[in-house]
Every structure is written in structure tokens, then in C-alpha cells.
Structure 1
Amino acid sequence: MRTQALLRLAWRESRTARRRLALYMSSIAFGVAALVAIDSFAGNVTRSIREQSRTLLGGDMALQARAAFPAVVDTLLDSLRNDKIATARVTTFASMALAEPSGGTRLVQVRAVSAGYPFYGEIETIPANAWSRVHNESIVFVDPSLLVALDASVGDSLRLGQKMFAIAGTLGNVPGDAGITAVIGPRVYLSDKWLDATALLKFGSRAEYDVVLKLPASLATPVAAKTMARDLRRRIDPRAAALQEAQEARGEERRGPGGEDEPPAADSAATAAAAVTKATTDSLTKAAEPASDSASGLVSGAVRTRVRIRTVADTERDFTESVARLADFLSIIGLIALLLGGIGVASGVNAFVSAKIDTVAVLRCLGATSRQVLALYVVQSAAMGLVGAIAGTLLGVAVQFLLPGVVSDFLPIDVELALEPRPLILGLATGVWVSLVFAMRPLLALRRVSPLQAIRREMDNTALPREWNDPARLTVDALLVGSIIGIVVSRIGSVRQGLYISAAIGGAVLVLWVAATLLIAAARRSTRPSWPFELRQGIANLHRPANQTRAVTLALGFGAFLLSTVYLVQANLLSRVQATSAGSAGNLLFFDVQDDQAAPLDSLLRARQHPVVQQTPIVTMRIDALNGRSVSSLMADTSARRAGWALRREYRSTYRDSIVGSETLVAGKWFADSAARAKSRAANPEAPFEVSFERDLATDLGVALGDTVTWNVQGVPVTTIVTSFRTVNWARFEANFFVVFAPEALRRAPQQFVVVANVPAGPAIAAVQRDIVRRFPNISSVDLTLVRQTIGAIVDKVTLAIRFLGLFSLAMGIPVLFSAVAATRRARLREGVLLRTLGASRAQVARVLLAEYGALGALGALTGMLLAFAGAWGLTRFVFKDPFDPAVGPTFVIAAGMLLLTMAIGLLTSRDVYKETPMAAIREA
């Protein structure tokens, strides 16, 4: 048969099955849609980052520190300016703003910038072009939301510390400033020439210092900028630069969680919000999460200040990696969508093949060879796969234009939407390939249909001969397995994790096959004569000759497994971003409270009958040595896997006698009572002080109970011994810490305080904040109710994004269930005909079907649900690096829903069995 004739015959023969094939191929359309949408979204964001990378940084290179730059950096900047390299400074910190005349107060993010900033892009203001006045007048530009919060307007006065400013306008787009920071605290921009006049930055005040460089064209290339950054690191601190270069040579510059030199960026929309929530809480309490302290370090007196050097390429890489992590969860959705689509195709084509046995037998009688018959239906399947892939591509393009709107608040750039050719072509090709690979296995059975089948009507049409050693079948099986592994590895982005997940998928299939086999055995042995006829008949259908129990259980169970896994992972991610403050000690938090301000603040609050429920001292320090080994020696040691950030960071720690409500002791013993400690100290004054570590930090440092840690507490060495490990609930709006000391270790050290008070909501809070700001301008206060609202807004958007994708994945399962259940429709039709002919009523036939599909649905849903707990645990633990908290109740609800849906679809697809008369049903059969 010629190709043209084959195609013409395939077109004509498909007329009776197009609607059915379209249903089967709708499964693949959803999978392709997910792939195209996710890859196009990631491509759009990556391209936008590449185009806006200089604007994101504000220049060609930046030096960053979390303390004032020491003299060596200032000298270096002077030499750069002499070489005609322009520089601009940015100082960022949190403070209270007081509006006059309304008297409103609000925690704000202050950014003091020098002339020339930014070198790329423009700071947009309303009125337009008003920014040019900022360095000549005592003015500020604020977020529009701040005016609403303070009941102020342009032209009013705004007090920052001891300096009064005029509000000259509102801010629009600011280069390098992610919009999400404005949700945490409204932005206030001013000239750095007024910074000293505010008197806000005192000892212990938390601020970030940036210097942005504009390089000549000859140095602005990625290679030249990288070389210059390496040279600057060596000039700032040769030792730290050498350590970093050694790490780069070992390929350890940026490792993943568990051994990173930098803590990982946010890995998804969900983890982005979790990071924002945690960073917000930490910035309020000064107990911040691990800082990204990579790059070079230097020593200024006794306090070590880390200076980080970043280039445009670093910014592009970091944001691209953040987008990649954001796409991790989306990739899981796409992978599941594709696998579900493949299952739908396989189940649907299996039913299609069963319905085409008589047609194939007639074609064989007319002289068609087995290869020609196979080619005929392969062409049909490929054509429908192409149609499904095209439909999925179009749907994916539509979803692509929705994704940036859902997650735009978590992106530091304006995403320019455009069609990405590569994801479109890849999605189209993948859809067609998956359709063919999953369809080929059931289609191979058509080669074994004999011409005699056309006249042997009494033979069970679904009983196709199989040869397990058939080379063609083995080849198709190998292609199927290889395709699944290849797709999983490409979607996950890691060969190791991809192989693990592929093995888990294979294990799930094996478990489902064993479960179906056990169900067949149980159905054969458990039937009792005392059972109702309908139940006995339905259970008997599970083990009858040519039953579809294994095939349907595999399809239903695997679908339930994938869908339940999606829900469990989704629920786990959402639980991570649901910040709860129900257990917080108070509702008004004060920080940056200096040592000499703690007592007056306490007196002021108590005089107004506002109880102080928590007053926490904070002391800054760094690690000098672990078990007698210096930090530099530990950093150079390649045999131990310690997180570099944990060794290099500046710690803000506290001291107290007791554990607090946000902590749980998990190992060791808490500090001895004060009397016992005093007696022990008197007997041995040189003994190390007791200290408690947060468990994850101890793991990253490689610290065990009984180890000694020497601290540099603002120039004074303090030796401690680790006596306990704790877990910390970072989501609570309280002062939480990585390290807690026994009181006598730090009581005399320079310190500041975080104070939490209970103040009635409403005007009382506003009055207290206003009076505190006027008396102590450096003290910032936060109404936790307001923080809960702002973080709640972020969480709501993240929840919407994740639930949208979760519902999308659940919707993908419906065509799969239709395809899986429809695979047994022909057998159900013949059995229903016999039952109706023997006198069974429609209700009895319906109850028989309910019994069969109920058993199949229950087995598939429950087995898939149990497998989902294991799969979700693995994904959460090893891919998203989170602890697994199973949502048991909702998962049972999903299983029950799938059971009911299976029974409903079974009755719907078999409606012809009991709605027609026996004679009409016999004619159809």
C-alpha cells in the first residue's frame, strides 16, 4: 500500500473514532500546555533579566557591606575615582517616619543615595523630573502607600530622626528595587548629604552600605569586569580572596543547600514568600537569617566587616537562578501533567484498539499486511497527538500570559511578554513523541489480529494474543522507559535527582501492579453466595477472563498518585509561607533600643499602663574558632563539609536563663540554674560558658554537643561549650536567635535591646509610636497587626498562584480518568447486554457497574494516596529541601473524590449498557 493510499485510508477510517481519539489526546494537550507555559515564562523572565541586568544593579559593579566601609575601601574608592571611574553610594536601613501635621507614624525603608545614582535607568517620580532637586533641598520621595498610611500629602513635612524633610513627590519605578520590599515597608528616598543630620545610625544600628561603580566601556565586558572584581578582592583582603578562588577552583563557589557557601535564594513562588516573611521578621528583631556574605572580608580594628563585590554577570546569574528555583515547583507540575497525559493516551488507545479488532480483521481479509495495519493506526495516533500538542501549545501560550501577572510581585524586573520559539517547538515535539510512545504499546497488539477474527464473533474481542519476548514490544518498552527518564531528568535539571524520581515512578508502577494482582486474587476467593447478586457480579468482573483490573488500576492509581503528590507538595509549600503570629508575646515591637534607652522606654510604657512582656538583649559577634581551630583554617579545610556562610557571618545573639515559647529543646540539657553556674564559675573562672545552638546551624557548622566555640565579641574572645540544640519557630513575630548564651557570658558586653509591649489597638498604638519617635528618634517600632496584614497580602498572592497550578493539575486528571475507565467500555457493553437479555433491570446493571468501579476506584485511589505520601516526602525533602508535614485529612478527601469521580465516569461512559433495550444493545454489540 502506497503512502498516499495509507494516509487516505487512515483519514476515512478515523471518521468513526475522531471524537473518541480527541478525548484521549486532550490528556496530552494539558501536559503540553503546562510545559509551554512554564518554559515560556522562564524564558521571558531570563531574557528580561539579561536585558535589564545593569538597571537591576544600578551600575556595572557594586561593593556591598552590612557595616560601614572601613578605611581601606574608602582609599580604594578614591583611587578608582582618580582613574575616572564614577562611584555612587546607597545606604539602606529601616526607621520610623513621623508625618506632620497628622502625627501618623510608620516603619519605612530609608534609602540615602549620593549624586549620580543610578548610572543606568532613572528614578521615576510624580511630579515628573522632580528627582533633580533631591541633592539640593531637604526633600524626600516616598511610596504612594505611605501617604495613605500617614494621612499625608505631597508638601507635608516628614520627620526622620532629628531631621525634618518636605515630601516632594511619590516614587514610581526605581532601578534595582524589587517592588516586594515596598510591601514590607514603604520606601523613602533622600540625599545622603542629610544622613548625619538624622542621627539615626548609631552603634548596633542595622544598615546596608552599597557603592555602585560605572566602568569605562573597555572594563564593562563580563570578562574584564570579572578580572577587575578579582583584583579588587585581592586588594581588599588577599587571604579571603585566596580562599574564595580556591573554592571556585573546586567548583564550590555556590553549592546547594546543606553545604552552600551562600544560602540559597528563594526556590519558588512559595519559598520566595517564606523568605520574605522570615527576612521581615528577622529584620525587625535583628535575628536575621543567614546573610549572603560571600566575597572578600577585611578586619577593621576588632570588628570584621565583609565586603561583597558584585558584577552585572553576578546579578544576572543570581536572578536567573532565583527564577529557576521559582520554576522548580512549576516544573514538577509540568512533569506530572506530561505523565498524566501519557497515561491518558495509553488507556485511551487501549480502549480504541479493543474497539477496532473487527475492523482490523476485515482489513486483513482484504489483503492488508500486519505492518500496514499498524502503520494505519500509528498515523491516526500521531495525527491526533499532533492535534493535541497544537491545542496544548495554544493553551500554554494563553497561560503564559497569566503567569507573570500572578507572580509579578516577587520579581525585581518588568517581564516583557513575548512568544519564545524554543518552548513552543519543544512542547510540540514532546507532545507528539509522548503520544506516540505511550500509544505504540497497545497498538502493537493489532499486528496479531488474525483475518479469522472477522468470522469468529463469539470469541472475546479483547483477548489479543501477546508475546512477551516480542522484539518490537521490547523496543517500545525500552523507548517508553527511556523517554520517561529523559523527560524527568530534563524537567528536574539534575541527573541524580531525575534518576531517583524515575526509579520512584517505576516503584509506584510496580506497587500498583502488585496491588491489582492481589485484588484479583482476593476477588476470586472472597465472593460469598450470601452476598447480593449485584455485588457478586461486580466483584466477579474483577477476575473474569480478559479483565482490565491491572490496566485500570495502574491508570487510576498512578493518576491518584501523581495528583495527590501535587496536592501534598503544594500544601507543604503553602504551610511554609503561612506566617503565624498567634503565639507572639505582644503586639508592639521596638528595636534599635540602646543600652541607656531601655530603662526610660520601659518607664514610659509602664506609666501609660502598657505592660512590657519581653525585653531581649542583643550582642553582635563573630566566630573565631571551633574546637581550637581558627575560622581561616576551617575554611581552607576541604575534608569537612561546613557551610561557609555560617563561619563568616556576623551573629546577633542573646543571653537568658530559660527557653522561650518559640523554641523546642531537641538535644542536650539547658543551662544549669544561676546558683549552680555561679558556684561552678567561682571554682573554675576559666571554664567555658554554656551556649545553645539552633539545630540546623549546628549541622551547617558541623558542631556537636560538647564542642567548644570561641567568639569574637566586639574584640573580646569568649569561649563557650555547646550544651544543647534547639529548633526555632521563625514564623513567630518575636526575637528568635541562632545562638543563646548563659547570661554571665554576655551580660557586660555592649548591647542593644528588642522590646515587646502589649498596647491596645487603635489610637493608643499611634500615640505611643508618635511619642517614642519624638523622644528617641533612633528607636523603630512596628505594629505587628500591620506586619501581619502586609505579609498576609504576600501570602495570599502566593497561595493563589500555587492553588491555581494545583487546580490546573487536578483538572488534567479528569481526561485521564475518562480514558482509563473507557478502556473497559466494550467489555462492559457485552456483559450488560447479556444481563439485560437474562432479565436484569437497568438499576441492577447500574449496581453491578458501581460495585466493579467502586472496587477499582477504591484500590487505585487508596494505593495512589499511600504512594503519594512517599513521593511528596521525597520531593519536599530532597528537591525543595523542606521538612515534610503531611496533609492527611485533605488527601483522604482527594482519594474519596477520585473514588466518586471514577464511579461517576464509569456509569457515564457505560450509559449505553443500561439505557437501551436488550435488542438495541445486541445490535450495537
Structure 2
Amino acid sequence: MSTDQISTPAAAAGHAVPTRAPSRRTLPLRFALRELRGGLRGFAVFLACLALGVAAIAGVGAFSRALTDGLAREGTTLLGGDAAFTLVQREASPEEYRLIEAGGRVSTVATLRAMARAGSGEALDATLAEVKAVDGVYPMVGTLDIVPQQPLAAALARDGDAYGALVDPALADRLQLKIGDRFQLGAATLILRGTLEREPDLLSTGIGFGPRVLIGIDALRASDLLQPGSLVRWHYRVRMDRPAELSAFVDEVQKGAPEAGFEARTRDAAAPRLENNVRRFTEYLTLVGLTALLVGGVGVANAVKSHLDAKRGVIATFKSLGAPGRTVFAIYLAEVGLIAAIGIGIGIAVGSSLPFLANAAVGHLLPVAIEPSLQPGAILLALAYGALIALAFALWPLGLAHDVPVSALFREHVEGGRRRPRLVYIALTSLAVLALAALAVYASEQRNIAMIYLAAAASVLVVLRLVGAGIMAIARRLPRPRSTALRLALANIHRPAALTPTIVLSLGLGLTLLVTLALIDRSLTRELTSRLPTEAPSFFFLDIQNTETEAFTRFLKQKAPEGEVEVVPMLRGRILTLGGRAAESLDPPPEFAWVLSSDRGITYAQTLPEGSVLAGGEWWPADYAGPPLVSFEREIADAFGLKIGDEVTVNVLGRSITATIANLRDVEWERLAINFVMVFSPNTFAGAPHTSLATLTLPEGGDLATERSLGRAVAADFPAVTAVRVKEALTQIGEIVGNLLIAIRGASLVTLLSSVLVLAGALAAGQHHRVYDAVILKTLGATRARLVAAYGLEYAALGLVTSVVAVGAGTAAAYVVVVYVMKLDFAWSTGAALGAVAVALVLTVGFGLIGTWRALGQKPARILRNL
């Protein structure tokens, strides 16, 4: 029987029984567990930083997955069928309809923008509306919620010369309508029968600039809004008889009508733009979480270093008893690993619960119902990020523990240790960092952005580290001031084990991000407000029929004689090929994918449009009559690899037209003047039915009263023309952008919170040095007030310098984003700079003095006895 069994005779007799020696492999873990019996004191920041970053990544990933799963699950409802085929400016021909009808039951829906009007004369009021005309089959899938509840057929039924209509409550409020009131849409009279509470297919038809008006297709035909070239979209939804054959059916329709120009969608991608936006925002928030983890990594390194400094005597004792350096390393690696596992576990638990909490709190506001669940992919990604961050930042200080000498038992506060660990630990740290970078790139859908982010993050970390070292070097070389407080503050900045590098690094990262976001916000706000009155048109007018173009132009000049009127022809076309390559085979950069996502507005012109500058090639003569030519926007042409001489094929009104690129243009899009990606030579569309697009620019941007008066006049005299007030549209865009910025700021506060935690942890870890300083200085006669002043000056200087660096780095980052990514003018904000300075001073001085005050309260006798 083995000696480690207790049921031996010797054991029964009460004699000592030899036990088996613990395995070398489990020894580090046993020692680590014994040390952790004393609690996790000193690791609060370590745990908080890891938990915060991991929770952000796990929560964002889980919520995003739940939302995309909801979109996929509700795809048929959101699309209104299993498949949808869309045409612009024309209805499907009988042959095309028969191809679609072969798949199953078909529902026809038409969408367009038009002016809804109520009242007459001076009491006339009009507003832009998103019109949706449906047939008797709608909705094939899902439920349309109406208030008061009633059958859709009854709500849209005709009553004499008027047709029933349902509207968004916002439209009823704008036109001051109540149930039973009449209003006009084009030439049709409508009766308000109820308001729309929920449309099952709202996301597939898009949310526009105006409130919804739902009518029957017969009412749409009576409105006279269906004119040649009118900007109306016809959607043909199919509920498949054989759903499993969906892909083959879509291919059959496309091949059976190759010239139709159908935009086809299936239930698998019912709301592609929303899904893309969700993915992009998820990726951004994941990078924010990773930034928080990187900042938290500094806190991990500080906590590990502080813990090992406190354990120098224990480590030296291990060494004196014969433990090799690698055993010491293994013991504390196991200890750090156990603590990291606790922090990561807390983060995963919190992050995994976020979708459930969000669904309970704001689930009714989401575009689709979500079913929160545990997401293994999001959990594993957050786990991997947390573990690699902990490993990458802990290996360096743990490597230094390998070489703590036995003499540390006697000269703990005199003799310093190695400044760098052994080569093997440097190599292990490098491998952990490379693994972290590889994971970030692999997990990203836009890997070029991930690589740019990693390069920027590494650069910022290096720069801030160098700035910290530079501050210490400068402080060391500055002349010593006569003031005792100033002299002590200056010495503390560059002393051995000074907090300068940690403060600059942890606080600098968070402040840099906040300054960047504040300046981007300022630039966007300025672009949407300050510049518009002098540069943007006051109105856009759509759907002007060719027969009315001259009369409408005269009308505008009569009503606004000082205004500037510009009129251009407009059609809609879908790009089929670019440079001989099929559109569906192209993989453009994400910022240019919109060019191929749907049909594009196109025009023709004899001369170069205003707001465009020729960037290559030559413009065609005014009397050009040769093969079709096209002018392409230069930046977009570069993104698709197009050059002068390449061919472009566009489907317009069911016809495929191929034109040669004759020249490239630079376009000033920010002016909001009329301009297009593609401008064709006039002979290309000779005889094709189309409408005109007009802009009116009032002097000095006009005023609200003038714009409302003109809008009423247009609605009364030209009811089929759609008037869009630019200021109103931009206000809505500004609200959307503002809400997005609020969400981004809120998410970015996670990074600032990590920075604050790291800063607080670093200052707390450095207080044991402050205790000895305070005791010695008080013994030599220093007063508490003088010491507080010295420490306050030190922290204020570090906070001020850090804020200056953060303002500079944040300004540079915001400039790059605004000018080179958003293509806007950069706007400086003094408030953002002063805010960063204030935040830095409050945090550093506040946290610093809180800890210092505790250090100053220590009794000298106890400390002096241990020196």
C-alpha cells in the first residue's frame, strides 16, 4: 500500500506518515492559491479594468448578434415576402410580371415622395410625405397595426370622389387633421381613416424625410403623380409556393428579363443597409472596448508590478530556499492568471446579460423583436481579448521577478532591480502582443481599418510613453527653484519610480479620445449649420414634368425674383457594368459601396455642371451627336479602378445603355448644389421620358416665413411637384447624426472610465513611496500644508502637460477623420481643449491629493522603526 494512504497501521497508531511530495507542475498553482487566501487587495483596478473591457466587448457582440439574428428571423416579414423585385420610374411589363408571378403569390407596392396638403388659400398647409400605395393583397406577411383598429380594405376604400388613407401620427399633427378630415395628395382627395402604429415591412421600404401616408394603388393612379419619369419605385413581393427554391427562382427572373433592371432582394437580406450599419457600429464599439482593454492593460501592468514590489521579501525568501527564478515566475504567473480569470469571468457575466437588460428596457424601440441568448462567439472573443491583454501586460513585470536577488531581504529600499526582464520574457511579451494584434485583425470584417487602428494605438502608446520619459528628462535638467514646494514637486516628477509615465499614458489615452470626438462633433455641427445659409440651396423641387418645366421656372422667378434658380433633367439608372466588369462581381471600398447598392440619379448636360471641376479628359462639344459619352466623378472612378476610355453600362427605364468615360470631375458635394456621379452627353437620352430637378437659392439663405409662403404657393399651383426644404431635411439629418454622436460618446466613456481607474490605481500604488517621503520630511520639520502644496503642484503640472499632449493628439486625429475621411472642413473648438485641461487637472490633482492626505496622516514612529 502506498505511503500516502491514511489507512496504514502506522497511521492508525498515531505515528507520522510520510506524504508524497507535491508535483513540480502543480507547485506554482498551490503556492498561488495559498497567497490568494489573503484576498485580492491591490488588484481592484486590475479586476475592474479587465471586467470593464471584457464586458464591453461581450455585451456589444451579444447584442449585435441578437439584433442580426432578429433581422434574419424576421426577414420574410420585413421584406413583405420571400423575394422582392424593384423597378424605378416604371411598372413591370406583362411579360416581366408573369415571370415574377410564376414563383407564387404577388403583392404590388409603390413608394414615392409627394406633398400632402390640407386647407386652401392662406390657410393652406403642406408637408413632405413618404407615400406608400398598396394593393388588396398587402400585407402578405405580418400585421399592420391601425388606430382605430379596422380592416385595411375598409380603411382605404373609396367614398365617392375621395379615397381612404392612413397616416403617420406626425403628419396628422403637422396638418392638424383628425379622423374623417379630408386632405389632398396630387390631384386626389383623401379621407383620413386612421393612423399607423406599426408597419411590418417599414425597414424594407425605407424610412424617409417625411411621415408616412398609406393609400391604395387606385388612389395613387387618381393623384396624377404617376407621370413619365416620375420618381416612383414599384416593389413586387413574392410569397413563394416552393420556398426552398428561392435562389433558383430569383436567377430565373433575372435571366428571363435581363434588360429589366430589377433590384432583387430575398428574405435573407431584407434590410441590408441596416445590417451593414449594425455591423459597422458593432465593429466600432468593439474597437472602443478593445481600447478600454488596452488602457486597462496599463492598470494590469501597474497592479502586477506593485504586487511584486510588495512581495520582494517573499520572492527573496523563495530564492534563499533554493527556488529557481522560473519557479518564482510560474508561481506569480499562476496567481495573476487566477485573478485575471475572475475579472474576465465578471466581464463575461455582465456583458452576456446586457442584451437581456437592453431588451427589457428599450426592446420596444428596436426595429425588430430580439430574442436574447448566450452567444458563444461573442463570449469566446471577449475571453480571448481579455486573456491576451492580461498576458501581454503582465509578462514584463513578471519577468522582472525572475531576477529578484536574495539580498532584497536586507536592502529592499536601497538596491534596485533589473530594468528589463530576460530575453525569453521579452520574447513571450512580444508573442502575446502579436497574438492580440492578429486576433483584432482576424475578428474584424474591415481588416484594413483594424490594421490602421492597431498602428494608431501602438503609435499613441509609444508617443505617450516617450512624452512621459521626456517630461522626466526635462524636469531633471531644469534649474532648482528657490521655493521648497516647487523644488520638491519638480524632484517628484523625475525621481526613481516616479508616477509620471503612468499618469501620462493612462490619462492621455482617455483624454485624446474625448478631444477627438468633441472636435469631430464640432466640425459636423458647423457643417450642418454655419455654412448652409450662404452655400446651400433653400429648396429642392422634384418630379417637375417636362411640359411644366418652363412654367415652373417662371413661377419661381416671379415668387422669388432675387432667388437663383437652377434646373436640370433627371433620370434614375442602375449600374450594370463598370469597365467591362459586372457590378455584382465588384468589391468596392466600404465608403463607396452605396454607388452599386441601388439605382442612381443621372442627368445629361451640354456644359460642365456648376460645382464641378474637370480633373481629366475633355468635355464634349455642345452639338455632340456621336456614341454615348459619360463624365464620372473622379474619386469614385478611382475607387472602382476606372479611367478615361472605359465603358459604363446603365439600365434606364428597362434599357441598357453603354457609354464611354470621356472625362473625370471633382465635385464639391458639400455645397449641396445639383450634381451627379454620372453626367451623360445630351444625345444619350434623346426622346427618353424624364422629369426635371430644380433648386432655388434665396439671398442670405432666406427666412422661415418666406420659405413657408413659397412652399404653400408651390403646393397650390403645382400639386404634383415635391418641394424639399433643405434646412428642414438637414435638421433631421443633424438629429440623426447627433443621436449617433451621443451613442459614440457614451460608448467612449468606457475608455475614459478605464483611464480613470488606471490613474487612480497608479496613484494608490505609489502612495507607499509618499508615506516614507512624508514621514522623513515631517521629521525634518516640513508642515502638512507645505507637503500638500508640493504634491498638488506636482499633480497639476503632470495633468496640465498630459492635457496639452491629449489636445494635440486629439486634434490631429480629428483633423484626419474630418478632412480625409468625411471630406469636410475642420473646425477647432476651444471648449474641447479647455474641457480636456479641466478634466485632467481635476482627476490628477483630486486623486493625487486624496491619497496623499492619507499618507500625510501616517504616524512617524511606526514607519521609522521599519526603516
TM-score (norm 2): 0.81
**CA displacement at 1:603 relative to structure 2:** 5.1
In 2, Cα distance between equivalents of 1:511 and 1:763: 54
> 1:275-314 alignment to 2 at 5 Å?
298=259, 306-314=261-269
Mapped contact 2:570–2:602 kept (Cα < 8 A):
yes
1:469 corresponding residue in structure 2: 422
Equivalent residue in structure 2 for 1:140, among 165, 169, 188? 165
- SS of equivalent to 2:528: coil
Equivalent residue in structure 2 for 1:191, among 216, 223, 237? 216
Residues 1:849 and 2:791 are matched in the alignment? yes
In 1, Cα distance between equivalents of 2:308 and 2:483: 34
Residues 1:481 and 2:433 are matched in the alignment? yes
1:547 corresponding residue in structure 2: 497
Equivalent residue in structure 2 for 1:615, among 550, 563, 566? 566
In 2, Cα distance between equivalents of 1:325 and 1:712: 30
User: Which residue type is aligned with residue 617 of structure 1?
Assistant: V
> 1:690-701 alignment to 2 at 5 Å?
694-700=633-639
Residues 503 and 713 (structure 1), Cα distance of their counterparts in 2 relative to 1, 3 Å cut = closer
Equivalent residue in structure 1 for 2:95, among 64, 75, 80? 75
1:245 corresponding residue in structure 2: none
**CA displacement at 1:61 relative to structure 2:** 1.0
In 1, Cα distance between equivalents of 2:727 and 2:586: 48
Residues 876 and 343 (structure 1), Cα distance of their counterparts in 2 relative to 1, 3 Å cut = farther
**CA displacement at 1:764 relative to structure 2:** 6.8
2:603 corresponding residue in structure 1: 653
> 1:458-857 alignment to 2 at 5 Å?
459-460=414-415, 463-465=416-418, 468-471=421-424, 473-474=425-426, 476-495=428-447, 497-524=449-476, 526-529=477-480, 532-544=483-495, 546-548=496-498, 552-553=500-501, 556-557=504-505, 560-561=508-509, 563-565=511-513, 567-568=515-516, 571-572=519-520, 575=523, 579-580=528-529, 581-583=532-534, 587-602=538-553, 604=555, 612-620=563-571, 633=580, 635=582, 650-653=600-603, 655=605, 663=611, 665=613, 667=615, 694-700=633-639, 721-722=662-663, 725-729=666-670, 732=672, 734-738=673-677, 752-756=692-696, 768-850=710-792, 852-853=794-795, 856-857=798-799
Mapped contact 1:29–1:390 kept (Cα < 8 A):
yes
Mapped contact 2:481–2:487 kept (Cα < 8 A):
no
Identity %: 24
In 2, Cα distance between equivalents of 1:894 and 1:440: 36
Mapped contact 2:571–2:603 kept (Cα < 8 A):
yes
Equivalent residue in structure 2 for 1:158, among 183, 206, 213? 183
2:140 corresponding residue in structure 1: 119
Residues 457 and 591 (structure 1), Cα distance of their counterparts in 2 relative to 1, 3 Å cut = closer
Residues 864 and 670 (structure 1), Cα distance of their counterparts in 2 relative to 1, 3 Å cut = farther
Mapped contact 1:567–1:806 kept (Cα < 8 A):
no
**CA displacement at 1:121 relative to structure 2:** 0.9
Mapped contact 1:142–1:169 kept (Cα < 8 A):
yes
Mapped contact 1:555–1:820 kept (Cα < 8 A):
yes
- Which deviates more from structure 2 when the two are superposed, residues 356-365 or residues 47-56? 356-365
- Which deviates more from structure 2 when the two are superposed, residues 189-198 or residues 375-384? 375-384
- SS of equivalent to 1:65: strand
Residues 586 and 419 (structure 1), Cα distance of their counterparts in 2 relative to 1, 3 Å cut = same
Equivalent residue in structure 1 for 2:250, among 205, 229, 237? 229
Mapped contact 2:667–2:675 kept (Cα < 8 A):
no
1:448 corresponding residue in structure 2: 403
1:325 corresponding residue in structure 2: 280
**CA displacement at 1:392 relative to structure 2:** 3.1
In 2, Cα distance between equivalents of 1:34 and 1:640: 31
Residue by residue, what CA displacement relative to the aligned partner does 1:562-603 show, whole Å, maximum 9, x if unpaired? 651465257537855863443355645432222343444455
Aligned length: 827
**CA displacement at 1:788 relative to structure 2:** 4.2
In 2, Cα distance between equivalents of 1:781 and 1:584: 19
Alignment gaps of 5+ in structure 1? 238-297, 299-304, 672-676
**CA displacement at 1:823 relative to structure 2:** 4.2
Equivalent residue in structure 2 for 1:62, among 65, 81, 84? 84
Residues 1:90 and 2:39 are matched in the alignment? no
In 1, Cα distance between equivalents of 2:52 and 2:40: 18
2:856 corresponding residue in structure 1: 914
Residues 514 and 97 (structure 1), Cα distance of their counterparts in 2 relative to 1, 3 Å cut = closer
In 2, Cα distance between equivalents of 1:787 and 1:843: 60
Residues 1:413 and 2:368 are matched in the alignment? yes
1:276 corresponding residue in structure 2: none
In 2, Cα distance between equivalents of 1:85 and 1:690: 41
Residues 582 and 487 (structure 1), Cα distance of their counterparts in 2 relative to 1, 3 Å cut = farther
- SS of equivalent to 1:110: strand
User: Which residue type is aligned with residue 295 of structure 2?
Assistant: L
**CA displacement at 1:870 relative to structure 2:** 6.2
Mapped contact 2:325–2:402 kept (Cα < 8 A):
yes
Mapped contact 1:63–1:211 kept (Cα < 8 A):
yes
1:269 corresponding residue in structure 2: none
Residues 458 and 503 (structure 1), Cα distance of their counterparts in 2 relative to 1, 3 Å cut = closer
**CA displacement at 1:709 relative to structure 2:** 9.2
- SS of equivalent to 1:811: helix
In 2, Cα distance between equivalents of 1:411 and 1:736: 35
- SS of equivalent to 2:238: strand
**CA displacement at 1:653 relative to structure 2:** 3.1
- Which deviates more from structure 2 when the two are superposed, residues 317-326 or residues 330-339? 317-326
In 1, Cα distance between equivalents of 2:103 and 2:687: 48
Residues 37 and 575 (structure 1), Cα distance of their counterparts in 2 relative to 1, 3 Å cut = farther
In 2, Cα distance between equivalents of 1:911 and 1:76: 82
In 1, Cα distance between equivalents of 2:366 and 2:99: 36
**CA displacement at 1:863 relative to structure 2:** 4.8
- SS of equivalent to 1:189: strand
Alignment gaps of 5+ in structure 2? 1-20
TM-score (norm 1): 0.76
Mapped contact 1:108–1:188 kept (Cα < 8 A):
yes
Residue by residue, what CA displacement relative to the aligned partner does 1:336-389 show, whole Å, maximum 9, x if unpaired? 111112221111221222233234445666887766655554454344434433
Residues 527 and 78 (structure 1), Cα distance of their counterparts in 2 relative to 1, 3 Å cut = closer
- SS of equivalent to 1:199: coil
Residues 1:46 and 2:68 are matched in the alignment? yes
**CA displacement at 1:111 relative to structure 2:** 1.0
Residues 859 and 703 (structure 1), Cα distance of their counterparts in 2 relative to 1, 3 Å cut = same
User: Which residue type is aligned with residue 350 of structure 1?
Assistant: K
1:256 corresponding residue in structure 2: none
Residues 1:32 and 2:54 are matched in the alignment? yes
Pairwise CA RMSD: 4.7
User: Which residue type is aligned with residue 455 of structure 1?
Assistant: F
- Which deviates more from structure 2 when the two are superposed, residues 393-402 or residues 338-347? 393-402
In 2, Cα distance between equivalents of 1:327 and 1:33: 14
In 1, Cα distance between equivalents of 2:86 and 2:652: 23
- Which deviates more from structure 2 when the two are superposed, residues 188-197 or residues 642-651? 642-651
In 2, Cα distance between equivalents of 1:46 and 1:717: 38
- Which deviates more from structure 2 when the two are superposed, residues 352-361 or residues 334-343? 352-361
